[in-house]
Structure 1
Amino acid sequence: MLIGGQLREMPVGDTIPADDLPTGDAPGLTRYVELASQADVVASTTPVNAAGMAFSVSAGATYLLDGLIRYNGPTISDVKIGFTGPAMASILWSANGMDASGTAMTTAGSLQTVGVTAIGAGNTIALGCSGGLVTVACPRGLFRPSAAGTLQLVWAQNSSNILASSLYPPSFLTLQRVA
């Protein structure tokens, strides 16, 4: 257990003094956010913020990102996800999810892993929709902001459609500061 900046062994049942608990954005701290309610996008390919799916970040820190995003929509529109954050941030992330070129979850080769190395609403990953079943994508990556700010999940339809595409709770993200 990391206590007061030092690695210490703790007997089972002992508690960590409140003054030694990591707070805010301290190295070693893992933070968690969860989508509170269903979010819908209709006829729009412009990425929007996923409400509550954001973290404040510190300049010069290194973070590990992980999560699970539950989504669905028409097979002809699919969805795209990405992240916005401080200018000049370095990011390497991917999302394991249904290939946007597939039409059903049973399509051979329908699972994809695509990597993105830039931050911003224009740097997204397209994910396929099943048209009826809620599907999941698992984004994960490494994030290094050069300035303090907010890391925010954004999403939209990949192709505009009058039928809604949706994100569902309990979609979540975790962000662990490692340096």
Structure 2
Amino acid sequence: MNDKRLISQLKQRDRNALGRVYTQYKTEFFKFAYRYRADDNLLEDIYQDAIIAVYENALRGKLDNLKSSLKTYLFSTGKFMLFKKFRDTKEKATDKDYIFDQTEKAVITDVYEDEGPNGYQEKLVENFKKLGDKCREILELFYLQGLKLEEIMIVQGYDNKNVVKSQKSRCLKSLKDLIRQ
């Protein structure tokens, strides 16, 4: 079943569609998220929260013009929830903990649909990993998840949206500079 139809069914509060999304991606999500060294109970909670967030965003119409696949959106939502949990408990996933494997490469490739990433996109992904955690998170929240500056301000714990706007601008400039090198 294609993503647009699935999103449409979610918008109609179809519990069977929600169940299909839940079961279809659960095993892959766990494989994807294990690299962050979280235990099964935490991953189960994060996955359920991510499913609920995707469902609620579908109901609100936020997924109507989704640029990535539903799977990519779900995985990035879960990843940010996991990072937020780490940040809240002062546990950080470090670069040593992060293992870029074939699963994530498949997820990133999925963003570009069947065309596959071009040379610029590959440089973008490669250099994106070089950014600090805060920069990566802000850019992913804004560009991949489509959150507004006010929403990012709340998620990240900033005092006002101008700080978020400035930080996003600096992070984007850093990414562009890395790509140009």
TM range (shorter): under 0.3
Q: Which has the higher contact order (CA 8 A, sep 6+)?
A: 1
Larger radius of gyration: 1
- Structure whose residues are more often helix by fraction: 2
